[in-house]
């Protein structure tokens, strides 16, 4: 993948793209951000870089996609939703989507895990019921609140820890429990999440490792692939039981590979991030387990980054400072 920081010509493309976005008002401070909120994952240079990469460094094409994403975010009032979504709704939604497990690969990229066993009929029925709700966030708003956590919290944290830009993640999907019937039942979910990722979160994924694929997975894939964005599908690497660990150990330390893939890390779907030692040191040892709900970065009067827990409870809005870098 192209790295715009690596050469003058590419840096010029980013500068030109940024200027065109500014002319269109696309870099105006996003509506709904609170005082002190940073724009990492929203309109910062690394976000613009991802949109450019998604369009092979074509500024005109990238501008169209970025404009569509910005208008979608404005229409859905996503910055406001991230601050006000109930922690209960956020956590219920998080159980359906890939989650960061608190660990990174050897390149500093976050490891994101999904066990498809959790995409059972009852869970998908609840998910579909949020397409239209009388009160509270709808399906798209809930999904983006969870996905925003990757771009607004996780990737900036991994960037700070690595002292270099980290713009992509590694997805680990456990397919052991998939059935042909389930493959048919998740097709609208697969279409929804891949479409949202492609439109609003382009190039946040380096590789999707589809692990423990059963012998009949080709039949399941024939059903699902037509509902997945082609760019997302191209990032998938399919591994059977015997192939999983040899593939993962080339980029992930044994201590950070989930046990179900032959590693040492106990992982369950939807668990809180279990921070690696370097991240614990960065945030403070007492933050080994992070609180539930959305997290974001703000900037204090001294220019330091402050990690804040947001969202809401029955008692009202939450704004808890967790750590300062």
| Mean pLDDT in consecutive groups of 10 residues from the start of the chain, 325 residues | 51 92 95 94 95 93 96 95 96 93 97 93 87 81 95 97 95 90 84 87 95 88 85 91 97 98 96 94 80 96 95 95 93
| pLDDT at residue number 287 | 64
Q: What is the DSSP letter of 91?
A: H
Domain 78-324: give its CATH architecture: 3-Layer(aba) Sandwich (3.40)
| pLDDT at residue number 7 | 55
| pLDDT at residue number 4 | 45
| pLDDT at residue number 1 | 36
Nearest Cα residue to 153 out of 286, 285, 283, 316: 283
> With 0-12 CB in 10 A as exposed, 13-18 as middle and 19+ as buried, what is 288?
middle
How far is the C-alpha of 261 from the C-alpha of 122, rounded, in Å?
27
| pLDDT at residue number 9 | 60
Q: Is 59 helix (H, G, I), strand (E, B) or coil?
A: helix
- 124 pairs with which residues across the strands? none
Q: Is 173 helix (H, G, I), strand (E, B) or coil?
A: strand
How far is the C-alpha of 108 from the C-alpha of 8, rounded, in Å?
25
Alpha carbon 195 to chain centroid, angstroms? 13
How far is the C-alpha of 81 from the C-alpha of 66, rounded, in Å?
20
Cα-based distances in Å from 34 to 100, 216, 300, 316: 25, 49, 12, 16
How far is the C-alpha of 63 from the C-alpha of 56, rounded, in Å?
12
Is the Cα torsion angle 286, 265, 208, 222 positive or negative in sign?
A: negative
Q: What is the DSSP letter of 37?
A: B
Strand blocks (E) in 66-191: 99-104, 110-115, 169-174
In the chain, what are the domain boundaries?
A: 78-324
User: Which pairs with CB-CB distance under 8 Å and at least 24 residues apart come from 23-31?
Assistant: 24/63, 24/67, 26/63, 26/66, 26/67, 26/70, 30/73, 30/74, 30/79, 31/74, 31/77, 31/79, 31/80
- 174 pairs with which residues across the strands? 115, 211
Nearest Cα residue to 33 out of 224, 296, 218: 296
The pTM (predicted TM-score) of the whole model is 0.92
| pLDDT at residue number 29 | 94
């Amino acid at each position: 993948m192209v790295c715009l920081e690596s050469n003058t010509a590419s840096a010029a493309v980013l500068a030109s793209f940024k200027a065109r976005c500014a002319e269109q008002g696309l870099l105006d401070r996003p509506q709904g951000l609170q005082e002190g909120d940073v724009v990492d994952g929203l309109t910062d240079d690394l976000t613009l870089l991802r949109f450019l990469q998604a369009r092979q460094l074509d500024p005109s094409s990238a501008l169209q996609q970025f404009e569509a994403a910005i208008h979608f975010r404005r229409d859905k009032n996503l910055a406001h939703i991230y601050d006000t979504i109930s922690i209960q709704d956020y956590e219920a939604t998080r159980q359906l989507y890939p989650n960061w497990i608190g660990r990174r690969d050897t390149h500093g990229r976050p490891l994101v895990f999904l066990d498809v066993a959790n995409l059972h009929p009852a869970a998908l029925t609840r998910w579909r019921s949020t397409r239209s709700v009388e009160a509270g966030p709808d399906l798209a708003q809930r999904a983006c609140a969870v996905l925003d956590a990757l771009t607004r919290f996780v990737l900036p944290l991994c960037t700070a820890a690595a002292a270099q830009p980290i713009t992509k993640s590694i997805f680990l999907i456990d397919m052991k429990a998939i059935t042909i019937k389930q493959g048919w039942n998740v097709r609208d979910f697969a279409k929804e999440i891949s479409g949202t990722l492609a439109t609003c979160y382009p190039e946040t994924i380096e590789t999707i490792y589809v692990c423990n694929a059963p012998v009949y997975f080709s039949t399941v894939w024939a059903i699902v692939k037509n509902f997945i964005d082609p760019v997302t599908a191209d990032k998938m690497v399919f591994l059977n039981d015997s192939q999983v660990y040899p593939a993962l150990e080339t980029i992930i330390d044994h201590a950070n590979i989930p046990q179900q893939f032959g590693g040492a890390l106990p992982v369950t779907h939807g668990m809180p991030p279990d921070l690696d030692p370097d991240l614990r040191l960065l945030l403070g040892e007492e933050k080994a387990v992070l609180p539930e709900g959305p997290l974001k970065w703000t900037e204090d009067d001294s220019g330091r980054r402050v990690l804040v827990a947001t969202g809401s409870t029955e008692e009202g809005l939450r704004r808890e400072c967790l750590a300062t870098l």
